[in-house]
A and B are shown apart, each in its own frame.
Chain A
Amino acid sequence: AGKKTITAVMHSDLRVIDPGFTTAYITRDHGYMVYDTLLATDSNFKIQPQMADWKVSDDKLTYTFTLRDGLKWHDGQPVTAEDCVASLKRWGRNDTMGQKLMDFTASIEPIDAKSFALKLKEPYGLVLESIGKPSSYTPFMMPKRLAETPAGQQIKEQVGSGPFKFVQAEFQPGVKAVYEKNPDYVPRKEPPSWTAGGKVVKVDRVEWITMPDAQTAVNALQSGDIDFMENLPFDLLPVLEANKDIKIDVLNKFGFQTLGRMNFLYPPFDNVKVRRAAFLAMKQKDVLDALVGNAKYQKVCGAIFVCDTPLETDVGAETLVKGNGMAEAKKLLAESGYDGTPIVIMAPGDVVTLKAQPIVAAQLLREAGFKVDVQATDWQTVVTRRASQKPPKEGGWNMFFTNWVAADVSNPVANASVGGRGKNGGWFGWAEDAKIEELRDKFARSASADEQKKIAAEIQKQAYEQVIYIPLGQYLIPSGWRKSLTGVVDGPATPVFWNIDKSE
């Protein structure tokens, strides 16, 4: 009785609850409830202390981290430096940025119960950015015994030091996940800013409810059955905007980048001319109109590393942005020797934010003179099939589409899809480009922001020339909540449930 409970419908259902096991954003959101991070990024892209503060040695080779007081695991044990070292190592195995960091790292050792040192082999510009990275795999801290769970297995318990405790008994995958306020949590004193600052919990309980049908969830939000809905369907916004009990706002101001990726192993997209023709045929505006259809929430953006970030540039993106490349596309395709083999595009029917891209792209490609075979499947099949290196006729593919959280692709190291490692550890589609790999490496080592910016622009130029992938625009997803909620925090990894209060 009298318990304040927030009922929220998240963007998808929570099934995997080990944040070191999957990059799924819902699991990351779960991570922020239960776990805490050493460092965090604030709204100025600055890294701030969260669980720990740090010092950098003058030679830039030793980083010393000191845990703040009052940190306790949910099982009552104090948080130790040993725990954090183990957690960082686990993350370093899983995350791309983590792996990069580990490549530069000579050792991570506890100094005493409260502090530990990270020693580099040579200076590396992204140490703090990596450890304070807001999105998945986010380096969450957990007790050593959990962090040492063998690779390929999920952790057995949900014991973190975060502001909420996970109620295991009420967890029903596909139905709901329940969190209770962690009474022992000592927040920082600073005001909250993105994932940094004080995580003050003002409610007793948070329930995440799964609703597979967006229409149902919108109905529930309108009727007050739920307090918060993370992803509002764009087309229902007019209905919700008319409702004075509901507030609509975008929490993740960078939103998402949607992109198309080709398979470099097989014709016709093994031919750069054909890829260019496809690139030139694309119009971001068409894709966004079909996907979002609301000028307020969509942004044509030629920057591979996302607009409104330090690395933004529009080099090489003119046709994407202006949509004026069709004539040239036709010409190029005619010259390329394309033999009319149909392009197999995988189209998942069960993911709302991925339905429009294949359809629009198919139409544009057809216009340019391609033959297109849109194959409808479910997302699971796409996920599996895109990993297949077989020819399109034997269960392989030519093109698929996906979305990134913009923050996750906002620099060349984090952005896996821009890589050029080919079949040797490259991202699905297996683009091979030595030059890009060289530039990415250079970027990682460079310490100055200006230089980084220059390298990023070069990468983008090269990526567009080779058509490593095609960004198809950025979009924001509005969230909605009942006005009884106050203090909803924005950021690159939202929603978070600290700082929110609920009036009766």
Chain B
Amino acid sequence: MTNIILDIDNLVVSLGKNPSGQRIIDGVSLQVREGETLCVVGESGSGKSVTSLTVMGLLQKGALVPTGGSVKLVGEELLIATERRLRQLRATRMAMIFQEPMTALNPVVPVGRQIDEVLRAHTDLDARARRQKILAMMEHVRLPDVERIFASYPHRLSGGQRQRIMIAMALVLEPKLLIADEPTTALDVTTQKQILTLIRDLQRDHGTAVLFITHDMGVVAEIADRVAVMRHGRLVETGTLDTILRTPTMEYTRNLLSSVPSLVPRAPRAETDEPVVLEANELGKVYRERSFFGKAREVAAAKDVTLTLRKGRTLGIVGESGSGKSTVARCIVRLIDPTSGGVRLAGREISDLSRRLLQPHRKKIQIIFQDPYRSLNPRVTVGETIAEGPINYGMPRAEALAKARELLELVDLPADAVSRYPHQFSGGQRQRIAIARALALDPDVLVADEAVSALDVSVQAQVLELLDEIQKRLGIALLFITHDLRVAAQICDDVAVMQHGRIVEQGPAAQVLTHPQQAYTKALLDAAPGRGWDFANFRPVEVAAD
């Protein structure tokens, strides 16, 4: 029996000091043993972060207060520890890494110094010894060129490098407990894989207990020893990885797992001869950052991109962050002007039309954005937002609002939502509103730029289903942009893989995603976490393939 490092027992965290106030965390009990990784999963807002911050003693003062239960770190009660004692424990016994590596590091202090602070606060090593130790640690987390990075500011480092710095900072004093709150969510799949491997290796070497928070089942499958599922501030169930994945007992867990899209492409739809509605020919975009007197800086974000999309079909664009996916989408919708090549919409060239001439064509192509929180004007009612397009194209207001009501029903929202404001809706609901807005103009083409990436898997599944249904009903062509291969596999007829602004591979989804020709595509597929599992069917993929 190994030691229990973290023992959370019946923890209650309330909003405000009053124990009878709203409970954000309600009776959660968890244990993490030495050398073990416990993954906490659950939808957004289920209390994962609050739990971890409670352990660290970093809850926002006055707003969130632990009002019951106990949290013990190697036997020491943390809830009653003084601020001073907590400060001593942080970084020495327990450490934490956060989701956003860019914002989690102080932008104005060189990263070496930021690690150094930990040593200065908790040890009395001299400057040279500290530096030695830091450099060693940086090498340990497999950072290249450590001397240079030591003196670099965070913005000079890539996301993966920043996250390695965070890990180095967390582990430099070899704490007993490492809390990782979605440490890889903001990273590319390839980088994510490296970081996950790193955490695993370090844990093995040092016997650290890891509390790993994520909402990505794939990551869970890669890293967890045991899994805890949370919902609405309560623990739903907990068990070993295998048990949870194969034989979840609770309905919620089953739903969660079955919402995870499979990496195995869905059954291909029949090829059609429907007319081509959208064509991109050798599209190119060079961003020029012009300054008043200075030299212009150029970024070629898209090069020679050629795409074809037929009515009723879905074309996916996949690729790593920064590969130019959004650039292509925005050129096609003419939110930005392409620097070369052409875009034909329903047979009409639109890439060189002026703002005025473009106006009649705009309604034929609509776009949905990634961030459901920012894509709706918070000060305009949902009804007005949806009706805006039709009104622009001459529909009387009353009629447009009636149409908005219909559309809301189409996307499964109550019709009375028209008079409400966006902040009264959840992320998934907002994304439906955005879809309704796009549909209001009866477009031929719908461009979805990471339209489901910000959503929980269960919600994601619902939205994907909705898109599918709408496509069937209205025969709309869908240009679907995503970095998530699982999603692409489930929704696309054809897939284009982008790297550095170029399309490296293009073809039917089944072919590209199962028998990739290009090394890049292969690497991408290899890095996808949990690709060994077919979550929806509660079994490993090998079995499914049989």
Does chain A touch chain B in the assembled complex, meaning CB atoms less than 8 Å apart? Answer: no
